Amino acid sequence: MTQTEENTTISNDTPLVPIEKIVSLSKRRGFVYPNSEIYGGVAGIYDFGPLGVELRNNIKRYWWWSMVQRHDNVVGIEGANITHPTVWEASGHIENFVDRLVDCKKCKRRFRVDHLAAENLEQHKCPVCEGELTTEPRVFNLLMETYLGVVEGDRMKTYLRGEACQNIYLDYDNVLKSSRVQVPFGICQIGKAYRNEVTPGNFLFRQREFEQWDLQFFVHPSEMDKWFEYWKEYRFEWYSGILNHKDRLRFREHASDELAHYAKKAFDIEYRTVLGWQEWEGIHWRQDWDLTRHSQYSGHDLSYTDPNTKERYIPWIVETSGGVDRTFLNLLLDAYEEEPDPAGKEARTVLRLHPWLAPVKVAVLPLQKNKEELVQTARSIHQNLQRFMVSQYDDVANIGRRYRRQDEIGTPFCVTVDFQSVEDQTVTVRERDGMTQIRLPISELTMYLLDRVTWK
Ligand code: GAP
């Protein structure tokens, strides 16, 4: 039994959505494409299509708004993907950022030691064919190498960043000196990270190029507990607020033998899908690991002097580190539903994305496309709405089919322009989830929609 099959049976509510449904929808409707597909693709690397980039941007903007713009003591940066190579020695990644692998001598499959069940590990038994596993794990570093410079023999080897947050420690002193923050304060960043994952897979879940959102919150050691709890709860509530299936979210504390090299304590926020309970974001107690190590390796003192007490110390760090791509995937898995048609016709595929995040906020649909007065009114409504939100104009196919098309991409509202609209300047607004319809004056439409699609 594969991990996917096994975990499908643990659901006791709405069935868990198979990843294949999301892969198919993503390709069909322009959310996600395999990278370099015409050359056969590259494992663990994806591109985002027209709807994908809208959804992704909305998710990132909402995170930035919640984390940076809504907190007086948090600022943002955007660091480069390439850094000085010594950064990765100081961070501990050259030494510790490794996967240990064993091979099956019979079926030749390769397994990460930390993904194997204890029974398979102890008996050296392949979980797929029961053949014999190699006993001495081989060790692979996940950092991706790159080279700077053009002259052969004089090129500098460095790495694409293996975790985006390193730039925050590198810029910490510059932020302190160039802005008015004081401990306790945070620095946020959204940016790409690169890992030579040995087993990329499950669509966007484990990729080789992906994006992370990080907060590094710098505190006095005596306040570490308080801030760790604050951000842990805040991040949980943040995810919970954009989910339909809130019961599929939980915390899991790391056992001491699974802690990353930089963490003294860690909780994962996990979400349950067909892959089982899986990490979505990590809340890490990084303590003084990063600033101490970068002080040592760079020779640049990164300690902080309290302006009031004059106490000098290395601030401790609470990290919240999540994946933009995992959020994208989890939200699609959470939102996707095939709803049986009571009339027994075609099932309705609907993406119940939060209206704040949906890639298209409204579709404007003239009832008929060959009636000039309907088309003119609909086009003018669409053009006005475009000033405030993503609006689509659609006059192809019958109205039922057009509603279905929008349901499938998660558009929360459809505005239908009919003959009455031309007479009394009202339109029908149809809501995606309940398919309820109300009639509204055109003059009230923008405010009605803005109120529902703007995050608060
Ligand atoms: N700075 C800490 C850090 O990088 P991590 O747990 O390795 O911690 C944080 O990564 C988040 O990044 C994970 O919770 C996950 O959402 C995302 N992530 C990690 N590896 C990933 C991969 N190969 N593909 C997609 N997302 C990944």
What confidence tens digit (pLDDT) does each residue in 179-196 have? Answer: 989 999 999 999 999 999
Phi (first) and psi of residue 209, to 5 degrees: -120, 125
Q: Determine the atom of ligand 1 nearest the C-alpha atom of 282.
A: 14
Distance of CA 138 to the CA centre of its chain: 31
Q: Where are the beta strands (DSSP E) in 254-355?
A: 265-273, 276-287, 304-305, 312-313, 316-323, 336-339, 348-351
CA distance 324 to 310: 39
Of 69, 32, 28, the residue nearest 48 (C-alpha): 32
> Over 90: is that where the pLDDT of 336 sits?
yes
Model pLDDT for residues 37-86, shown as the tens digit of each residue: 999 999 999 999 999 999 999 999 999 999 999 999 999 999 999 999 99
User: Which residues have C-beta within 8 Å of that of residue 24, sequence separation ≥ 6?
Assistant: none
Mutation to probe ligand 1, out of 326, 328, 330, 331 (largest number of atoms < 8 A from CB)? 326
CA distance 342 to 235: 39
DSSP three-state, residue 423: helix
Tell me what pLDDT residue 246 has: 97
Phi (first) and psi of residue 32, to 5 degrees: -140, 140
* Pocket flag, ligand 1, residue 352 (CB < 6 Å): no
CA angle 355, 274, 197 (to 5 degrees): 95
Give just the sign of the alpha carbon dihedral 10, 11, 12, 18: negative
Q: How many CB atoms lie within 10 A of CB 453?
A: 20
* Pocket flag, ligand 1, residue 206 (CB < 6 Å): yes
Model pLDDT for residues 363-401, shown as the tens digit of each residue: 999 999 999 999 999 999 999 999 999 999 999 999 999
* Pocket flag, ligand 1, residue 273 (CB < 6 Å): no
Structure tokens at 217: 């919150």
Q: By alpha-carbon position, which residue is closest to atom 8 of ligand 1?
A: 321
Q: How far apart are the first and last CA of the chain?
A: 44
Picking from 200-214, 340-354, 362-376, which range would have the lowest pLDDT averaged per residue? Answer: 340-354
Q: Specify the DSSP class assigned to residue 179.
A: S
Contact between 184 and 220 under an 8 Å Cβ cutoff? The reply is yes
* Pocket flag, ligand 1, residue 211 (CB < 6 Å): no
Centre of ligand 1 from the C-alpha of residue 280, in Å? 8
* Pocket flag, ligand 1, residue 195 (CB < 6 Å): yes
Greatest Cα pair distance, the chain, in angstroms, is: 80
Centre of ligand 1 from the C-alpha of residue 340, in Å? 36
- Tell me what the mean pLDDT of segment 433-443 comes to: 97
Centre of ligand 1 from the C-alpha of residue 278, in Å? 11
Centre of ligand 1 from the C-alpha of residue 6, in Å? 24
Centre of ligand 1 from the C-alpha of residue 139, in Å? 20
* Pocket flag, ligand 1, residue 191 (CB < 6 Å): no
| Burial class for 179, CB neighbours closer than 10 Å (0-12, 13-18, 19+) | exposed
Q: By alpha-carbon position, which residue is closest to atom 7 of ligand 1?
A: 163
Q: How many CB atoms lie within 10 A of CB 269?
A: 21
